[in-house]
Amino acid sequence: MASRVQACTACHGKEGRATPTGYFPRIAGKPAGYLVNQLINFRDGRRSYPQMTYLIEHLTDAYLQEMADHFAALDLPYAPPPAPQAPPAVLERGRVLVERGDASRDLPACVSCHGAAMMGVQPFIPGLLGLPRDYLNSQLGAWVTGQRRAQAPDCMAAIARKLSPQDVSALSAWLAAQPVAVGSKPAAALPAPLPIQCGGVMAVPVASASPAAPR
Ligand code: HEC
Ligand code: HEC
């Protein structure tokens, strides 16, 4: 597999460890279920990046799962984050949104799904640290425009639509400036059920969902 994913490292960095300055997201060490969901999303048109999609458009789910497992198993240190790119008051607004959300707008805290350490949760939820600011801004924007979609119900689309451009900019600036401690990993499980339902994460219990609810 290491040689078969050579083509991927041109953009995702050697061994899937992208730099903090560029746009390309790191893929090493992310939860395998999240990675395979994304590869399927690109292949099936829910996400778009033609220069990458052409490499995977004919691959089967099983093969994409092998690729995802390969990158998920890589355990590589993170580069230090770039210096914060916003004034302290903006960074503080970003931190509060991530850690507490905004109950007045029914906006759940990002940490309630992405994990208290923001490193993601096995097997389907990605971390929010170690990603470039431009990438974070663009993903949240893409969910609003529909250019990025997840399996339904698309909780991130609902969340992104509640965020103002100022919120997004504050969140992204704060997240991109957080260091990732050596040895940080996705959490093994959520401490509490998800605050709202997310497709692609159906194995994870959801607060208030009836167990037999049809989908
Ligand atoms: C031409 C550059 C390029 C190549 C080659 C490439 N990628 Fe990507 N990849 C990207 C970019 C850019 C994104 C983010 C696209 C977006 O949604 O804006 C991405 C996103 C991803 C994601 C989702 C990451 C996340 O955090 O959501 C995965 C997984 C991924 N790539 C895996 C691969 C694999 C596996 C290969 C090799 C088969 C590969 N990529 C080859 C540029 C590339
Ligand atoms: C209800 C649970 C939930 C909440 C709350 C939530 N997220 Fe997410 N988030 C997810 C799931 C699930 C995914 C994976 C979606 C997919 O499979 O494409 C995700 C993916 C993401 C991604 C894509 C990461 C990548 O590598 O491409 C970003 C960025 C993100 N969320 C940011 C946020 C921010 C910022 C907040 C707080 C404002 C937030 N999320 C709150 C569940 C949640």
On the question of pLDDT at 175 being above 50, the answer is yes
**Tokens 């260091």 label which residue?**
179
With the most atoms of ligand 1 within 8 angstroms of its CB, the residue from 9, 12, 19, 125 to mutate is 12
- Per-residue pLDDT band for 212 (boundaries 50, 70, 90) equals very low
- Residue 127 Cα to ligand 1 midpoint, Å, equals 16
Ligand nearest to the CA of 105: 2
Measured in Å, residue 57 CA sits from the centre of ligand 1 at: 13
Beta carbons within 8 Å of 92's beta carbon, 6+ residues apart: 174
Lowest model confidence (mean pLDDT) among 41-50, 189-198, 204-213 = 204-213
Q: Whose CA is nearest to atom 4 of ligand 1?
A: 52
Average the pLDDT over 98-105 and give the result: 97
Atom 15 of ligand 1: nearest residue by CA position: 49
